Structure 1
Amino acid sequence: MKTLEKNSGQHRSRLEVTLGMTTRIGGRPDNQDFLGSTLPQGEDLEKKGALFAIADGVGGHALGREAAEFSVRSLLSDYYSTPETLGVGRSLDLVLNATNRWLVAQGRRCREYAGMATTLTAVVLRGNRFHLTHVGDSRAYLWRNGQLTQLTEDHVWPHPELANVLSRAVGLDDHFKLDHLEGEIQPGDRFLLLTDGAWSVLPKTQIEDLLAHTLDPQVAADALADQAETSGSRDNCSCLMVAITSVPGPCFDHWLETALQRPLPPTLGVGQTLDGLTVEAMLHQSRVTMLYRVSRPTPQGPEKLVLKTLQSGHGDDEARAALSHEEWLARRVINRAFPQVVSHPMRSYLYYLMTWHEGETLASRLQRGHRFDPEEVTKLGFGLLKGLGYLHRLGILHRDIKPDNLHIDTEGHLHILDLGVAASEGNLLTEINNPGTPSYMAPELFAGTPCSESSDLYAAGVTLYHLLTRKYPYGEIEPFQHPHFATPVPPTRYRPDTPEWLENILLTACAPHPRHRFETADEFLVALERGVHRPLTRPRSIPMMERHPAMTFKVFAGLSLFVNLVALYYFSRLPAGLR
């Protein structure tokens, strides 16, 4: 993804813009262009930003206008329905790919719809950044500090006779690819979106001169359309201009700013209170964080909750940012597979609250000596993969799946814990790459490859393998070790009662190369679900070489020695002349 950075200016607390847009029929019998914008208020503006789009239906097609209007309207409505954690780019891709599939399908279903396509250029302004997405030959420009910069390239065929023929467009074919560009914005920036009917007859110097002398976006848009018509444009002329008057900080910075202002709570003992919360027990204490079980009064009686905060000696900005980021993500994960964040209006210190669930972690159950059978491991895999799949659909990577972070309650429901090192595409927090526990980290992470859904699924596979065997597919890996990954040890080496299908699934999940693993959590889940229809109690016949390699070697060595001794005995009894 290309990035366009800027110098900083004075930022106010919210995004403020002025908008101007116009469209003219030009030299066409009808207008096949369509423009639109959405400028939400309050929380929606902070989470998703403001969206501006322009489209030009493919000329010569009776339904070009319908394609342009449908694409813009779908984008303006559906973009705001995508999860915030997906990030702007992935959200735009998701919506526009769905639009493209629908237009292509209509063309295949009905002959009169064949070829219905459109260009589309859109800009999202969110926080202190812009995100541009583009396909076709409409154009986007940025006016900054008296200079006009073209941000898009025209998707047309390079041959001179095909200079006006689109090579890429929404609805053109299944092979749909969008261009993306992102960068920072500053007060005084102006974004200009033009269809080819306008930019093709307006020299860059003419556009620059008009922008230099016209501040009002609506006046400028009208003037550009007028000049395009008078310059002899034979196409529809559409212009959309957004002028930025004030810029906030990044979206996550709003959340972080509040966190930095809150003091750390003191170390609490059982029975002490904080913001109306009474401490019942210390649950966990690490080098940086602390977890308490607390209760607060409600009309229905005391409500048990989990309070997570920082150690008193770790209140630096980095630790505060990490805890705030964890809460920011957790508030967006609304699923029974995860503890839910609980609001507390009386909060005056740096911490956050989660729902409390009776039970224990799978690591604790292993430490107690519990032996998980294949059926239990399979059922735990269902819960783990359903939760992980939900997380991935939000664009969030957990990055530390292991038995310590998996909790099973008294009703048998699995909960995925600890989003402390999770990452998503929808925030700008800089984090250390590839955190996690070495024995559960995918091989590519040790080479510096960024975390991915595949590395999360690898960790899930190792977790299920460990629950079943109490071993690791490549042996235990210590911190700062440089492990070698060859072929994973089959689970039946340690658990001969493992069904063949379950062994194959676990070996696929723990494959050393990502291309040999399951692509998604859903694919992994379906494999397990299909497997349960086969009897879990009937293990495959395991060769002795796999079950007891050392014993096998001893047996073959003993047989070899016996054969040699017998041969030597008979050889010694042969007459001297036959030896």
Structure 2
Amino acid sequence: MPLTVTTGHASATGKRARNEDFVGMVTPNEPELSSKGLLAAIADGVSGNEGGREAAEYTVRGLLADYYATPDTWPMTQCLERVIQAINSWVQRQGAARPELAGMATTLTALVLRGRFYHFAHVGDTRLYLLRAGVLSRLTSDHVWDRPEMQHVLTRAIGLDTRLHLDHGMGELREGDVFLLASDGVWAALPEYDINRLLSELALGQRDAADCATALAEAALAAGSADNASALTLRIDALPDTSLRDAVSGLQHLPLPPLLKPGQTLDGFEVEAQLHASAATVLYRVKDAESGRQLVLKTLQPERGNDEAERSAFAHEEWLARRAVARFFPQVLTPAQRNWLYLLTTWHEGATLQQHLDAGRHFTAPEAVAEGMRLVRAIGALHRRSILHRDIKPANVHLGADGELRVLDFGVAQSGINPEDGNNAPQAGTPSFLAPEQFGHAPPSRQTDIYAAGVTLYLLLTRHYPYGEIEPFQRPRFGEPVPPTRYRPDLPLWLENVMLKAVARDPAQRFETAEEFLLALERGASRPLAAPAPLPLAQRDPALLWRGVALVSMVLNLLLVYVLVVK
């Protein structure tokens, strides 16, 4: 069952010349309801200038439009923060550019209902209330000065300052919960007893949501409110039976297919060949019997059918792959009918970088730089969607016959939407491509993907690893990376410096972003990077330093003993 919410709103001008409040709401259908949720917002434009109403309306309209354009893989706080910060900048620019709008600003309270949780972002003195089991709670704090000389002056608002600080919060939803978003024209005029009473009538079904919102606004005006009075009410009627992740994937209950042979069919797809098999998964090239199109079908090994962790990770992989929509990745397809647990993607003629290396292909420096730039662009596209691939290596980079480079396999990828999702083991991936800090159990980051891309480029050119090949379960010691010109003297110095920066042992010495890595490759010899400075011995190998100190101390002590004995 999907999330079901009853909503209503009302906004009254009151004794003001114009209504500077603005309320809005988006109640999407699936799949947006599960992936992004229902969004409601209220804003109260700052009085005293002509821009108050404009700021409030633009803020709410902009939030409702742009929030749904953010990547599904972004965390909720990141989605709201990015959009609202951009709106704040626009409001400030308008106020500076147009004298009649000088000082335009607005408050904002936004509520997102998604899955079985609520999230909110807030700035100013509009308020969010929750009525649960007859108890009314205020979830937001007013950002105002309330002193004798400064009565109810806003300390934070959109458009008030270049650096906007938002309050964020979240909590678990329960059926029967009632939320109220209200401007100060409502809450300042009504005691909480009256707010509780009217919201309780909505919770008990004695009023509908629209009637409840209207009653709140009218009661505020009747109580003497001279301000605009706006209210937005929401009642939770039903919650999803499963978690958000399960609702999005919806695949874990399906049975696993048996091992398939060429000629067999599955849901209308004829198996042409087995492409790859690992301990956990198997890939087939299949042909759609209806269209004749060749596709890739990936599923778990049959013996993994009872492993809930494997099934959950597989569903998470499809969820992430569906959101990596760009030319750098195979695209996930939805079959007309699906009776088994599998992932279906587009098939592309070509070979992986590893297959090219295994076939003996020699990559020139210009060829490697060209492929490196395309690989880094692909990684940047993932990072902008808050996706960490975590297994960048030549075997997962495909060069298509159509001239495109595509990154494969999201099996151990991790998204920013929920840190608990997916495979979070620090060393998930291939040992020789793991960044040094991951062997110390540091969490994966953008720098770990950049490191793996640097090792891939290094291997492409030299057929060696910068720190030597690392076997599974080995605990390597990282010194200084071997300069690639030791294996390829023909490489230009600028390219060597780029690769050494990408594979630096210290994450702080690597490129901060994929875009910075790409810029270094694009500039090449025109603006070369400086050679990395060698690390002091104390940082490079502290144990060796202290062993040396101990050895010198021992020699000095022996000399001292000898001198004393001789005397």
**TM-score interval, smaller chain:** 0.7 to 0.9
TM-score for the superposition, normalised by structure 2: 0.85
Residue matched to 2:164: 176
Q: Within 2, Cα distance between the matches of 1:134 and 1:345?
A: 43
Q: Given the superposition, is the C-alpha separation of residues 485 and 190 from structure 1 closer, same or farther in structure 2, using an over 3 Å criterion?
A: farther
How far is the alpha carbon of 1:163 from its aligned partner? 5.6
SS at match of 1:261: coil
Map of 2:341 onto structure 1: 350
Q: What's the offset of the Cα at 1:35?
A: 0.7
Are positions 1:61 and 2:49 aligned together? yes
Aligned partner of 2:360: which letter? G
- What are the superposed Cα offsets for residues 175-219 of structure 1, whole Å, 9 maximum, x if unpaired? 123222223212101111122232234343443344334543333
Matching residue of 2:326: 335
- Report the equivalent of 1:322: 313
Between structure 1 and structure 2, the one with the greater Rg is: 1
1:223 equivalent in structure 2: 215
**In structure 1, distance between residues paired with 2:145 and 2:362:** 64
Aligned to 2:261: 269
**Bigger shift: residues 157-166 or 195-204:** 157-166
Which of 373, 377, 387 aligns to 1:386? It is 377
Q: Report 1:139-538 matches (<5 A).
A: 139-157=127-145, 161-162=149-150, 164-215=152-203, 216=207, 217-248=209-240, 249-257=242-250, 259-298=251-290, 302-316=292-306, 317-426=308-417, 430-433=421-424, 434=426, 435-485=428-478, 487-531=480-524
Trace 1:24-173 onto structure 2 (pairs within 5 A): 24-157=12-145, 161-162=149-150, 164-173=152-161
Find the aligned partners of 1:391 and 1:201 in 2 and give their Cα distance: 49
What is the DSSP-based 3-state SS (H/G/I as helix, E as strand, rest coil) of the residue aligned with 2:144?
coil
5+ residue gaps in structure 1?
Answer: 1-12, 541-579
CA distance in 1, matches of 2:355, 2:143: 58
- Structure 1 position 73, deviation (Å): 0.9
1:253 is aligned with what amino acid? D
* Aligned length in residues: 524
| Whole-angstrom distance in 2 between the partners of 1:154 and 1:511 | 47
The DSSP-based 3-state class of the residue aligned with 1:331 is helix
State the distance in 1 between where 2:219 and 2:479 align.
68
Deviation at 1:388, TM superposition (A): 1.5
Per-residue deviation at 1:497? 2.4
**Bigger mean CA offset, 469-478 vs 153-162:** 153-162
Distance 1:428 1:265, change over 3 A: farther
Q: Contact 2:284 / 2:297 at 8 angstroms: preserved in 1? A: yes
**C-alpha deviation, 1:115, in angstroms:** 1.6
- Alignment match, 1:566: none
Q: Is the 8 A contact 2:106 2:159 kept in 1?
A: yes
Q: Classify the secondary structure of the residue corresponding to 1:260.
A: coil
- Native 8 Å contact 2:34 2:248 kept in 1: no
When residues 162 and 377 of structure 1 are mapped into structure 2, their CA distance, relative to the original with a 3 A threshold, is farther
1:335-383 per-position Cα deviation (integer Å, ceiling 9, x unaligned): 2211122332243221122222222221222233333332122111121
Residues 486-544 of structure 1: per-residue CA shift (max 9 Å, x gap): 54433333333222222222222223344433232222212211116689xxxx9xxxx
Deviates more, 1:64-73 or 1:42-51: 42-51
- Structure 1 residues 294 and 152: CA distance shift in structure 2, 3 A: same
Equivalent pair of 1:86/1:425 in contact (CA under 8 Å): yes
Using the size of structure 1 for normalisation, the TM-score is 0.83
**In structure 1, distance between residues paired with 2:473 and 2:150:** 58
Alpha-carbon separation, structure 2, partners of 1:119 and 1:448: 43
Residue matched to 2:8: 20
CA–CA distance in 2 between the matches of 1:511 and 1:186? 49
The residue identity in structure 2 corresponding to 1:228 is: A
Q: Distance in 1 between matches of 2:246 and 2:89?
A: 36
Secondary structure, counterpart of 2:174 in structure 1: coil
C-alpha separation between the residues in 1 aligned to 2:29 and 2:137? 29
Deviates more, 1:51-60 or 1:222-231: 222-231
Distance 1:147 1:372, change over 3 A: same
Q: Is the 8 A contact 1:250 1:428 kept in 2?
A: no
Paired amino acid for 1:469? T
Corresponding position of 1:558 = none
Q: Is the 8 A contact 1:108 1:114 kept in 2?
A: yes
**What is the identity, as a one-letter code, of the residue corresponding to 2:136?**
L
Counterpart secondary structure, 2:317: helix
Structure 1 counterpart of 2:188, one-letter code: S
Gap change, CA 1:229 and 1:483, over 3 Å in 2 = farther
Q: Give the residue type in structure 1 aligned to 2:62.
A: S
Instruction: Report the Cα distance in structure 1 between the residues aligned to 2:323 and 2:387, rounded to whole angstroms.
Output: 10
Question: Unaligned 5+ residue runs, structure 2?
Answer: 532-567
Q: Percent identity?
A: 52
Contact 2:51 2:102 in 1 (8 A): no
How has the CA–CA distance of structure 1 residues 25 and 346 changed in structure 2, closer, same or farther, with 3 Å as cutoff? closer
CA distance in 2, matches of 1:499, 1:431: 40
After superposition, the Cα gap between the structure-2 partners of 1:379 and 1:263, relative to the gap in structure 1 and judged at 3 Å, is: same
* SS of 1:20 mapped into structure 2: strand
